[in-house]
Every structure is written in C-alpha cells, then in structure tokens.
Structure 1
Amino acid sequence: MKRLVILGAGTAGTIVANKLRRRFPMSEWQITVVDRDDHHLYQPGLLFVPFGAEPPEALTRSRRSFLRRGVRLFLGEVEVVQPELRVVLLTDGRVIGYDYLVIATGTSPRPDQTPGMLGPQWRRSIFDFYTADGAVALRQALADFDRGRLVVHVVDQPIKCPVAPLEFAFLAEARFRERGLRDRIELVYATPLSGAFTKPVASAALGHLLTERKIELETDFLVERVDAERKTLVSYDEREVPFDLLVTVPLNLGADFVARSGLGDELNYVPVDRHTLQATGHPEIFAIGDANDLPTSKAGSVAHFSAEVLAENLDDLVHGRPLRASFDGHANCFVETGDGKGLLIDFNYDVEPLPGEYPVPRIGPLSLLHETARNHWAKLAFQSVYWHLLLPGRRMPVPNQLSLRGKRRVSRED
C-alpha cells in the first residue's frame, strides 16, 4: 500500500486530493490529508464582508464534506516534516509516514512582523481583511468612518490574492460616493511596487482607474514601522504616510513548520521546479498553491490550473517515467472596480495581461482588461462554481494552460 500525505485541506490541497483519489485505486493507495480544523473558508468572499455582505460563517463549509470517499482527514497541527525518514510529526505526538508528500499549507498574514502594527490601535484604527475576524471588525469601522484619510496599504509581495487590496480601495471609494461622503474622505493606496498592479502592462493599462477615482498612489513604499501613536506609516527611506483609518495587508509568510523542516526559503515558501512543482532536492515532495515559491500570483486560479500538472507528474514519478506535465504559470483574477463592475486579467510566466475575450475567443462572455458588469457578476457567481466544481476536482470548462486565442497584443506604451 503506497502512502500519499497532503498537508493542508484548503483550495489546493482539496483539489489535489480529489484528483489523485480518482487517479489512484483505493486498493493500492492510502491518501491522508492533514489540517488544523474542519472549517473551509471561501477566502475571496472576505473582500465583501466589510461592505455588508454575508458574514464569514456563511462562507464556511466542512472540509470533510468536500473530500472524496477514501480520503482520510486528520485534524491537527504539523510540528515538522522529516524528509530523510519520510514522516510528518504532529504537535500532539502523532506520526504519519508517507511515500509521497504534497505541501499545500498556503500563506498567512503576519502583522507581528511589522513593528508597531499590533498594539493599542490594532482593530481600532488599523485593520486587515484577509482574516474572518479582521473583515468583521473592519465592517463596523468602515460604517462609522465619515471623514478623514483612509490608507489602503500592502507591506510587501508576495501576498495571496494580490489584487484584493486594489479591489478594496475601489469598493471603498464607490461606497463613500453612495453615502455622499466622498468629498470628505481622502483615499491613498500605498504599495511596495512601482505601480498599482503587479504586472507592468496591467499597471500601464489600468492606472487611470485610480486617477479617475481620485485615489492617491504612493509607490515604492517599503514600510519600516507603523507609528501607531501618530497614526503614520514610516518607510525605510523615511517617507511618511499619515492615516485616520489604515486597511493593511501584512507581510505574508508560509507555514512555520516549513522552516522548521528545512524545506523553505526566507518567507517559508517551498522552493519548487516552476514547471513540475517538485520540491528542490526532494523528488518525493511536491508543493502547490500558495505554499510554494512560484513566480506567479498566489491565487486560487493558480492552485486550480497547476493541480492537474501535479497529479500527472506524481503519476509519472510513481511509475518511473520522466515528468512530462509542465505548468506555465497560468493565472487569472477578477478585479472588482466598484459600481457593479469588474475587470478580468489572464496571464502566465511569460505573457502579461492582454485585452480580449475569455474563455471563448471573440465570444467571451467575459472581457479582459475592460470594466464590465458581466465580469462583476461572474466573480460573484464563482462562489457556487468553487464549491460544486472546483473543490471536488472536476474538470472545469477552461484550459489549464494560457491560450492566446482571442487576445490582442499590446505594447507597454499602449
């Protein structure tokens, strides 16, 4: 009996477990998934919680309910992985042996890593929204905020769902206009990047959205500390950004056990081959989703598009074949822009976002790099797709590899 252990039952871990359960016979394979609890949160939904949408408990399902029959779920915290012994040690003393291991433990915001972020102003004038508690606390703060300076801030890249801070800024701006408060509120977007978007072409094509909405852009801002007493962000080059209300995305780090196991980089992400997803120096270990160091977005779409690659390559490895499947870094992201509209971007390692139609050339029905109501409704509708198609590991009606069909080449100057 071969033993496959998957650490993490989030988006990536659940999809991979279900795909591999279909591929590997139960009579020959024992598949075990480990996570700290039985609560699967639809993380994209947290963006809307501060604006009055359904609370986090409505975005949560049982992890067990989405794992196929024959997949075991162990609840517990991982203490360390010992690759030389091929075992996983849990903090409660349990030992789980494996022949093959998939690390899918994601990434998490760590406000403790920025001096001054945690303290008396945390969840009073300084908020996050990437956690359920943070999103709920911010909802009341945002409802009470009727004048002053709102700063939306990203500590550093990479972060999961890299467009979410921009989406928050757009949604906040639209909400303030609806409430008749826009002239009394100053909006600032502070980013460590040289532009608003992570991709230069997207920044060039879409930067006007901030200008039109009168959102001030503070670029190349690498925060050194938060001066909570003065309500000011202070950068390493001594620039200051004052705030009355700060909505921040703290530094994101991978799981601590990755560092303890000697499997991670300085941010606790597992270095992998960017095409095969195989861990560097450990052919029996793969890492997927936000847990690895791929040079692409830490987004659910990446977990989805790379899951089939991992499944095929693990199958090849088990049967002694060369690893034939290759991940191209494909990612796509909806970007809420307020007023019931949204954008869609689609890209990979080598191709930046391009205008066009998606997923069917010349038909769409979704538009790339263009604000439409259809994109907004597609983002909202995706929650149902997520629960019923994506997590169960069913084939989605979109290609895993980036397709250039239906896209139009542009230059950065366009």
Structure 2
Amino acid sequence: MKRLLVLGAGTAGTMVANKLRRRLDRHEWQVTVVDRDDAHHYQAGYLFVPFGTYDRHDVVRTRHHFLADGVEMVLGEIDRIEPDDDAVVLADGRRLGYDYLVVASGTTPRPEETPGMDGSEWRRSIFDFYTLEGAEALAQALRAFDHGRLVVHVTEMPIKCPVAPLEFAFLAESWLRRRGIRDRVELVYVTPLDGAFTQPVASAHLAGMLEERKIQVEADFLVERIDPERRTLVSYDEREVPFDLLVTVPLNMGAEFVARSGLGDELNYVHVDPHTLLSAAHDNIFAIGDANDIPASKAGSVAHFAVEVFIGNFLQHVQGRPMTGSFDGHANCFVESGDDKALLIDFNYETEPLPGKYPLPYVGPLSLLRETRANHLGKLAFRHVYWNLLLPGRPVPLPAHMSMAGKQVPHEEA
C-alpha cells in the first residue's frame, strides 16, 4: 500500500486530497491529511467581517465535512518533516510515514516579527483582519470609530491575497461615507510597493481609484517598527506615519515546521519548480497553495488553478513518467471597491492584469479592470462555489491556464 500524506487541510490540501482520492486506486493507495484542528476557515470572507456583512458562522465549517470518503484525517500539531526517512513527526511524538508528501500548510500573519506591532496597542488601536479573531475585534473598533486618522498598512510582500488591503481601504471609505462621517476621517494607504499594485496597468488603475476616493498613498514604506505610545509607524528611512486606528497586514510567513525540516527559505516557504510544484530538493515532495515559493499571488484562485495542473502531473510522476503539465501562475481575483461594486483582475507569471471580459471572451459577463455590480455579486457568490464545488473537488468550469482571448493589450507609444 502506497501512502500519500497531505500536510494541511486548507483550500489546496483539501482539494488535492479529494481529487486524488478519486483518481488513485483505493486498494493501492492510502490518502491521509494532517491538520492541527477541525475548523476550516473561508479566509476570503474575513474581509467582510469588520463591516458586518459576514460573521463567524459564514466563514467557518468543519474540515472533515469536506473530505471525501476514504480520506483519513489526523489531528495534531506537526513538529517536523524528516525527508531522508520519508516521515512526518507530530508534536506528540507520533510518526507518519509516506511515499509521497504534499505540503499545503499555507501562510500566516506574524505580528511579533515587527517591533511594537503586537505590544500594548494590539487589538486596541492596532488591528489585523487576516485572522478571524482580528477581523471580529476590528468590527467592534470600527463601530466606535467616528473621527481621526485611519491607516491601512502592508508590512511586506508576499501576503495572502495581495489585493485585500486595497479592498479594505475601498470598503472602509464607502462604509464611512454611508455613515455620514467620511469628512471626519483621514484615510491613508501605506505600502512597501512603489505603487498601488505590483503590475503597471493595474497599479495605475487602482491608484486612480485611491485618488478619486481621496485616500492618501504612502509608497515605498518599509516599516522598521511601530511606536505604540505615539501611535506611529516608523520606516527604515525614518519616515513616520501617525494613526488613530491602524489596520495592518503583518509579515506573512510559512509554517515553522517547514523551517525546522530544512525545507524553507527565510520566510519558511518550500522551494519548488514553479511549473510542476515539485520540491527542488526531494523527488517525492510537492508544495502547493501558499506553502511554496512560486512567484505568483498567494490567493485561493492560484491554489485552485495550480491544483488542476498538479493532479495530472502527480499521476504521471508516481508512474515514473515525465510531468507534462505546466502551471503558468494563473491568478484571478475580485477587488471589492465599495458601493456594491468590484473589479476583476486576471493574470499569470508572464502577463499582467489587462482590461477585457471574463470568463467568455467579449461576452463576460464579468468585466476585467472595471468596476461593476456584476463583479461584486460574483465575489459574494463565490462563497457558495467555495463550499460546494471547490473544496469537495467538483469541476469548476474555468480553465486552469490564463487565456489572452478577449483581453485588451495597451498600445505602446512610438
């Protein structure tokens, strides 16, 4: 009996376990998933919790409910991987052997990595929304906030869902305006990037949206520390950004057991081939979703599209055949912009977000890089798709590879 071990029952890990359970002979393969608890979080929903659109019941389900019959689930904290022995050791001493290992342990915010962030003002005037507890605490703080300086801040890239901080800024502006207190609040967006986003066309478009909403931008800001007493962000070049309410995205890092196992980079991400997701160091270890170091967005859509390519590659690999699938870094993200509208971006390793229509060329019904109500409804509807199609591993009629059909390429000036 061959053993497939999946570390992490989040988005990527659950999809891999379910899809491979259906494709691997049950008499020849054992499929096991390991996670620390039985609570699966729809992390994209955290964005809506501070504004009262979603609550805990909308974003949390049991993990085992979404695992296919025949997938064994083991609850326990992972201590380390011993790749030379093909084994995973849990914190309680249990050892789980494997023939093939899939690391899908994700990434988490680390406020303790920035001096002053998780000090005396943590969850008092400094909040995050990348955890459910943080989003719930922020919801209470926002209800009590009626004037002052609200700063939305990104510590460093990469982060889960890189557009989420922008979405929060747009939603906060709309929320404050609807409450009739927008003119009493100064909104500032602080980013380590040189613009609103990483790609020129989208960055220019999003920068225009920030300017239109009178949201100030402090770019190229690499935070060195937070002074909680003065309620001030301090950068390495000694710039300062004061705040009354700080909504920050802490440094994101991969799982500590990845570092203890000698498999990670400085941020605990597993080094893999960006097209096959196979470990650069071990021929029977893959890393998918947010756990790897591929140069793509750490977003649910990337996990989804990558898993679609990975399944075929894995089946070829275990048969000793060359892997013919090549993941292109495809990402597809809704960007909430407030007032019940959103825009959509679609891009990959080589191609930046461009205007156009999606998923059908020239028809849509969704618009790329344009604010529409249809895009907003699409984002809200995705929660149903996530719980009922994506996680169970059912087919989602979207191509894994990005298509240029229907996209409008800007003409270069002569």
Interval containing the TM-score (normalised by the shorter chain)? over 0.9
Distance 2:262 2:412 in 1: 40
1:384-395 equivalent positions in 2, closer than 5 A: 384-395=384-395
Distance 1:231 1:397 in 2: 48
Q: For the Cα contact (< 8 Å) 1:114–1:225, is it kept in 2? A: yes
Distance 2:164 2:352 in 1: 18
1:187-266 equivalent positions in 2, closer than 5 A: 187-266=187-266
Distance 2:49 2:320 in 1: 48
Distance 1:285 1:392 in 2: 23
1:44 matched to 2:38: no
How far apart are residue 12 of structure 1 and its match? 0.2
How far apart are residue 323 of structure 1 and its match? 1.0
Q: Secondary structure at the match of 1:367?
A: strand
Amino acid at match of 2:96: I
How far apart are residue 410 of structure 1 and its match? 1.5
Partner deviation per Cα, 1:275-316 (whole Å, 9 max, x = no partner): 000011111000000000010100000000000221111111
Alignment correspondent of 1:347: 347
1:316 matched to 2:290: no
1:30-69 equivalent positions in 2, closer than 5 A: 30-69=30-69
Alignment correspondent of 2:174: 174
Alignment correspondent of 1:161: 161
Partner deviation per Cα, 1:16-61 (whole Å, 9 max, x = no partner): 1111011101111000000000000111111010001231233111
Partner deviation per Cα, 1:145-188 (whole Å, 9 max, x = no partner): 11100000000000001100000000000011111111110000
Structure 1 residues 412 and 298: alpha-carbon distance in aligned structure 2, compared to 1, 3 A threshold: farther
1:7-406 equivalent positions in 2, closer than 5 A: 7-406=7-406
Amino acid at match of 1:395: P
Partner deviation per Cα, 1:82-101 (whole Å, 9 max, x = no partner): 00000000001110000000
Q: For the Cα contact (< 8 Å) 2:309–2:327, is it kept in 1? A: yes
How far apart are residue 374 of structure 1 and its match? 0.3
Distance 1:279 1:242 in 2: 43
Amino acid at match of 1:36: R
Partner deviation per Cα, 1:342-370 (whole Å, 9 max, x = no partner): 00000000000011000001110100000
Distance 1:317 1:412 in 2: 43
Structure 1 residues 62 and 194: alpha-carbon distance in aligned structure 2, compared to 1, 3 A threshold: same
How far apart are residue 412 of structure 1 and its match? 7.8
Q: For the Cα contact (< 8 Å) 1:80–1:88, is it kept in 2? A: yes
Distance 1:198 1:112 in 2: 26
Distance 1:297 1:411 in 2: 26
Distance 1:7 1:273 in 2: 19
How far apart are residue 200 of structure 1 and its match? 2.0
Distance 2:83 2:296 in 1: 26
Amino acid at match of 2:136: V
Q: For the Cα contact (< 8 Å) 1:162–1:198, is it kept in 2? A: no
How far apart are residue 388 of structure 1 and its match? 0.8
Q: Does 57-66 or 250-259 show the bigger shift?
A: 57-66
Q: Secondary structure at the match of 1:30?
A: strand
Q: For the Cα contact (< 8 Å) 1:204–1:412, is it kept in 2? A: no
Aligned residues: 414
**TM-score normalised over the length of structure 1:** 0.99
Distance 1:28 1:109 in 2: 39
How far apart are residue 130 of structure 1 and its match? 0.7
* CA RMSD in angstroms, aligned pairs only: 1.1
Q: For the Cα contact (< 8 Å) 1:110–1:253, is it kept in 2? A: yes
Q: For the Cα contact (< 8 Å) 1:286–1:310, is it kept in 2? A: no
Distance 1:297 1:195 in 2: 17
How far apart are residue 143 of structure 1 and its match? 0.9
Amino acid at match of 2:75: L
Structure 1 residue ranges, 4+ long, deviating more than 3 angstroms after superposition: none
How far apart are residue 411 of structure 1 and its match? 5.1
Structure 1 unaligned blocks of 5 or more: none
Partner deviation per Cα, 1:215-252 (whole Å, 9 max, x = no partner): 00000000000000000000000000000000000000
Q: For the Cα contact (< 8 Å) 1:200–1:412, is it kept in 2? A: no
Q: Secondary structure at the match of 1:133?
A: helix
Amino acid at match of 1:121: E
Distance 1:180 1:349 in 2: 42
Distance 1:152 1:249 in 2: 8
